[in-house]
Amino acid sequence: MNNYIAQLNESQKEAVLHKDGPMIIIAGAGSGKTRVLTYRIAHLMQQGVDSFNILALTFTNKAAREMKKRIAEIVGQSEAKNLWMGTFHSVFARILRSESEKLGFPSNFTIYDTQDSVRLLSSIIQEMSLDKDKYKPKQVLGRISQYKNSLITVKAYYTNPELLEADRMSGRPKMGEIYKNYVDRCFKAGAMDFDDLLLRTNELLTRFPDVLGKYQDRFKYILVDEYQDTNHSQYLIVRALADRFENICVVGDDSQSIYAFRGANIQNILNFQRDYKEVSIFKLEQNYRSSQTIVNAANSVIENNQSKLDKTIWTQNDKGDMIKIMRTLSEGDEGRFVASAIFEDQMRHQLSNDQFAVLYRTNAQSRAIEDALRKKNIDYKIFGGLSFYQRKEIKDTLAYLRLILNPNDEEALKRVINYPARGIGDTTMNKLTVAANELNKSIFEVIENIDVVNLQLNTGTKNKLRDFVLLIKSFQAEAQTLNAFEIAELVLKKTKLVRDIEKDGTPEAISKVENVQELLNGIKDFIEVQKEKEEDDSLAVFLIDVALATDLDNDKDDKPRVSLMTIHLAKGLEFPHVFIVGMEENLFPSAMSMNTRSEVEEERRLFYVALTRAEKQVYLSYAQSRYRWGKLVDCEPSRFLEEIDEQFVQQIAPKQPQFKQNSFIDSDIFGETPPETVRFKKPIGVKRKEAPKPIKKASPVQGNFKRMHQVKMDIPEGPFATKLKVGNFVIHGKFGKGEVLAIEGNENDQKAEIKFENGEIKKLLLQFAKLKIVN
């Protein structure tokens, strides 16, 4: 044990030592919120609280692991063992595993990841013969996710005229039916999607008071990190669980709330003081992470937000280097700039790759950065791409494992019933799906009864189906005695899956086989770790972990690498040197989020998060032109660049003023002393409208629904007007709101056929129509 209290300042100490009762710590970035939470847990344990009675909810699995490690260092490994720590999803997935039968789900329920959900929705939309352009599976899933996170069940949906109207207006009158089918199909398949993990937990705690009582008793102390990004569903779970003892400690920063688009509700912070009578409020103001320059620059940016709580951060750290702003010609140049700057910094200061992070607004931006880093042989790791577990060969293998535990898992079955090929084609699958829907059985159950269900299949097909069921059943029998690793090995051998991959003979095939091998290693690792921790090492637990794993969790590789990720993913993390790329209007702030003040404020908070990840140095870059939507567009520097107080920034320029595209000279990006120290200037002649205030204040619960069909006025013209697509909703000055049914003609005489709210259909010449897109 070490003297951890000595590692805290006075305000932090107060929060850590505070007695029982509800408490909230609201503080700016890098002020030690996460440290306080961690030490508070250690302290509680030292005061005799049983680790079994503590629940800590973090934003990532990785954060939970790090916290647990730190606590173990203070109180000892065996003491820390029983702590419940993890993300909302992982903690409640585990609870549901022991309670799901009460809700009619098998205990080995499957967790559908986004890919599974999208596939299921695709088939439902197809079975309902709906237009896939109107009902885009991903968008439909997003909408369902919003319902679920606001606790709107299918029944509640149908009794909510506002929602019905909103979906009707947005041209998706069948949303309710899709939602119902989706929920039914998941239920029949014994599957929960990500949002169900929260929704069903809420259901469990509401419908079964004894279960609620059990967990209320168990979790005498509840602590939540990044509270500003909890959604309504999460909020209710925490509230219910904390209701008995009210020993709830939440930490957050309203200035870092960046998930409103996914239903997070900044109100939860404000409500906290309303929900609990005697709340102790703590503020931390000293930042330990960043240089003075970075802290002050971040403060100057967030100043521009109207809606924020009153708090500041300051630091005793060194003044540090100025924030450097770099203008580049194109995204290619931007990539080269980043790679060269990293290279130079490394040469000058002997820094390793892992001291650097490149942050961007959208995943697509990584490509140019990756290309440039590869050219310079700088190792990097990209977070947020296709995670290991989402690769096809891995998903195929996992699908077999999922079926062993839960043969009703429809998505897993569809994935592998004919892979490797066994002659079970689409026609057969369609017949099976229809029969399953009619009989209200799973596809697997239909196949099990293939002799009694009259499906008009020939004997050959029936035999193939029977063989498949037998194969899965034989695995199930073996699973009684084999562990997760052995069963996975057996599956690979019997299904000849690896052989099927190898058949291809390409280099990709080799890497796919390696991936499958890596999966086996992963399972082996998992078993060992669980054994060591004396925790459940069953296949079921492995599959829960896998379903909820993100590639942020997967940092086994010990080679130091530059981290590449979106700003959203970087929340809570820190790096000595941070590049924030793509500082351009319509990219950051995003074109999708510039229509209301609250949207721009969320983008600004995102920028605040980005800046405050850095310890020593921030580089900001923007390109003068960039390929977007397949077209080269001129870019305007981001408004956020101007918002940084000028005393903290320095524009750096390439040494060769006239360098051409693709002729970038690596070692000469900027000299020892930057060529000039100038205030970033907005290009002359560019005018920008400040986003107006939202028209209507959204209610906390249904904020997002309102937002979806809320009229957004004053959208700047430009890429919007030319990007008009069929299915878009638009506002016309005279005719009001309408939906684009068709677009014809090109360039100057392009016309759109629009159906307006009053039922009239009009054909308008786009050049003059002054339409504003609203979705």
Ligand X SMILES: Nc1ncnc2c1ncn2[C@@H]1O[C@H](COP(=O)(O)OP(=O)(O)OP(=O)(O)O)[C@@H](O)[C@H]1O
Selecting among 613, 628, 707, 737, the annotated active-site residue is: 613
Cβ partners under 8 Å of residue 404, min gap 6: 472, 475, 476, 479, 487, 491, 539
Structure tokens at 268: 């939860």
Considering the complex, what minimum distance in angstroms separates the CB of residue 316 from ligand X?
Answer: 10
- C-alpha span between 491 and 498 (Å, rounded): 10
Nearer to ligand X, 3 or 458 (CB): 3
Measure Cα distances from 659 to 329, 620, 666, 684 in Å.
Answer: 9, 20, 12, 22
Selecting among 99, 193, 195, 225, the annotated active-site residue is: 225
Structure tokens at 296: 């002050």
One-letter identity of residue 389 = Y
Q: Which of 200, 289, 381, 707 binds ligand X (CB under 6 A)?
A: 289
Structure tokens at 632: 């080269």
Determine if residue 86 is left, alpha or beta; phi over 0 gives left, psi from -120 to 50 gives alpha, anything else beta.
left
For residues 255-274, which are near ligand X according to CB under 6 A? 256
Applying CB under 6 A, what is the total number of residues that bind ligand X?
19
Among ligand X, Mg ion, none, residue 31 binds (CB under 5-8 Å by kind): ligand X
Q: What's the length of the chain?
A: 775
Residue 605 is a binding residue for ligand X (CB under 6 A): no
Provide the binding-site residues for Mg ion, judged by CB under 5 A: 33-34, 572
Residue 572 is a binding residue for ligand X (CB under 6 A): yes
Considering the complex, what minimum distance in angstroms separates the CB of residue 223 from ligand X?
Answer: 13
- C-alpha span between 590 and 643 (Å, rounded): 16
Q: Is 27 annotated as a binding residue?
A: yes
Among ligand X, Mg ion, none, residue 190 binds (CB under 5-8 Å by kind): none
Selecting among 58, 256, 650, 710, the annotated active-site residue is: 256
648, 642 in Cβ contact below 8 A? no
Q: Is 174 annotated as a binding residue?
A: no
Cis peptide before 589 (omega within 30 of 0): yes
Considering the complex, what minimum distance in angstroms separates the CB of residue 149 from Mg ion?
Answer: 23
Nearer to ligand X, 574 or 753 (CB): 574
Residue 15 is a binding residue for ligand X (CB under 6 A): no
Provide the Cα torsion 689, 691, 693, 694; round to 10°. 130
Nearer to ligand X, 35 or 232 (CB): 35
Helices H, strands E: what count in the chain? 32, 24
Structure tokens at 80: 């820390």
Secondary structure (3-state) at 287: strand
- C-alpha span between 551 and 545 (Å, rounded): 12
Residue 313 is a binding residue for ligand X (CB under 6 A): no
Nearer to ligand X, 35 or 464 (CB): 35
Nearer to Mg ion, 33 or 577 (CB): 33
Nearer to ligand X, 9 or 300 (CB): 9
Q: Which of 167, 253, 409, 739 binds ligand X (CB under 6 A)?
A: 253
Selecting among 12, 33, 172, 324, the annotated active-site residue is: 33
Q: Is residue 2 classed exposed, middle or buried when 0-12, 13-18 and 19+ CB atoms within 10 A define those classes?
A: exposed
What does DSSP say about strands 248-252 and 221-224: parallel, antiparallel, or unpaired?
parallel
Among Mg ion, ligand X, none, residue 35 binds (CB under 5-8 Å by kind): ligand X
- C-alpha span between 539 and 406 (Å, rounded): 11
Considering the complex, what minimum distance in angstroms separates the CB of residue 39 from ligand X?
Answer: 9
Planar angle of CA 517, 520, 526, nearest 5 degrees: 145
| Residues β-bridged to residue 577 | 356, 617
Selecting among 99, 116, 195, 226, the annotated active-site residue is: 226
Residue 31 is a binding residue for ligand X (CB under 6 A): yes
- C-alpha span between 139 and 131 (Å, rounded): 13
Among Mg ion, ligand X, none, residue 30 binds (CB under 5-8 Å by kind): ligand X
Considering the complex, what minimum distance in angstroms separates the CB of residue 533 from ligand X?
Answer: 25
Structure tokens at 519: 């999966």
Q: Is residue 290 classed exposed, middle or buried when 0-12, 13-18 and 19+ CB atoms within 10 A define those classes?
A: buried
Helices (H), 33-113: 33-46, 61-75, 77-80, 88-99
Cβ partners under 8 Å of residue 112, min gap 6: 120, 186, 191, 192, 193, 194, 411
Measure Cα distances from 205 to 3, 102, 209, 288 in Å.
Answer: 39, 11, 6, 40
Selecting among 34, 60, 267, 397, the annotated active-site residue is: 34
Considering the complex, what minimum distance in angstroms separates the CB of residue 255 from ligand X?
Answer: 9
**Among residues 470, 475, 469, 405, which one has the least CA distance to residue 443?**
469
Q: Which of 22, 32, 576, 637 binds ligand X (CB under 6 A)?
A: 32
Q: Which stretch binds ligand X (CB under 6 A): 25-33, 120-128, 390-398, 640-648?
A: 25-33
The total of other beta-carbon atoms located within 10 Å of residue 271's CB is 14
Among ligand X, Mg ion, none, residue 8 binds (CB under 5-8 Å by kind): ligand X
For residues 34-73, which are near ligand X according to CB under 6 A? 34-35
Q: Which stretch binds ligand X (CB under 6 A): 3-11, 78-86, 666-674, 705-713?
A: 3-11
Q: Which stretch binds ligand X (CB under 6 A): 33-41, 405-413, 471-479, 691-699?
A: 33-41
Q: Is 30 annotated as a binding residue?
A: yes
Among Mg ion, ligand X, none, residue 176 binds (CB under 5-8 Å by kind): none
Q: Which of 26, 29, 369, 641 binds ligand X (CB under 6 A)?
A: 29
Q: Which of 8, 412, 543, 591 binds ligand X (CB under 6 A)?
A: 8
Eight-class DSSP state of 729: E
Q: Is 524 annotated as a binding residue?
A: no
Secondary structure (3-state) at 16: helix
Among Mg ion, ligand X, none, residue 624 binds (CB under 5-8 Å by kind): none
352, 560 in Cβ contact below 8 A? yes
225 is catalytic: yes
Among Mg ion, ligand X, none, residue 12 binds (CB under 5-8 Å by kind): ligand X
Q: Which of 157, 187, 208, 288 binds ligand X (CB under 6 A)?
A: 288
**Among residues 623, 629, 618, 522, which one has the least CA distance to residue 570?**
618
* Beta strand extents in 200-301 (DSSP E only): 221-224, 248-252, 280-284, 286-287
Q: Which stretch binds ligand X (CB under 6 A): 6-14, 145-153, 403-411, 454-462?
A: 6-14
180 is catalytic: no
Q: Which stretch binds ligand X (CB under 6 A): 2-10, 108-116, 155-163, 236-244?
A: 2-10
Structure tokens at 731: 């506002």
34 is catalytic: yes
Nearer to ligand X, 32 or 263 (CB): 32
Considering the complex, what minimum distance in angstroms separates the CB of residue 166 from ligand X?
Answer: 35
One-letter identity of residue 444 = F
Q: Is 29 annotated as a binding residue?
A: yes
- C-alpha span between 541 and 537 (Å, rounded): 7
613 is catalytic: yes
- C-alpha span between 357 and 536 (Å, rounded): 36
Considering the complex, what minimum distance in angstroms separates the CB of residue 311 from Mg ion?
Answer: 15
Considering the complex, what minimum distance in angstroms separates the CB of residue 326 from Mg ion?
Answer: 29
Considering the complex, what minimum distance in angstroms separates the CB of residue 33 from ligand X?
Answer: 3
Considering the complex, what minimum distance in angstroms separates the CB of residue 71 from Mg ion?
Answer: 15
461 is catalytic: no
753, 712 in Cβ contact below 8 A? no
Structure tokens at 123: 């088939």
Residue 229 is a binding residue for ligand X (CB under 6 A): no
For residues 606-625, which are near ligand X according to CB under 6 A? 612
By beta carbon distance, the residue nearest Mg ion is 34
226 is catalytic: yes
Q: Is 33 annotated as a binding residue?
A: yes
Which residues are annotated binding-site positions? 27-34
List of residues contacting ligand X (CB under 6 A): 7-9, 12, 27, 29-35, 253, 256, 288-289, 572, 574, 612
Which residues are annotated binding-site positions for ATP? 27-34
Catalytic residues: 33-34, 225-226, 256, 613
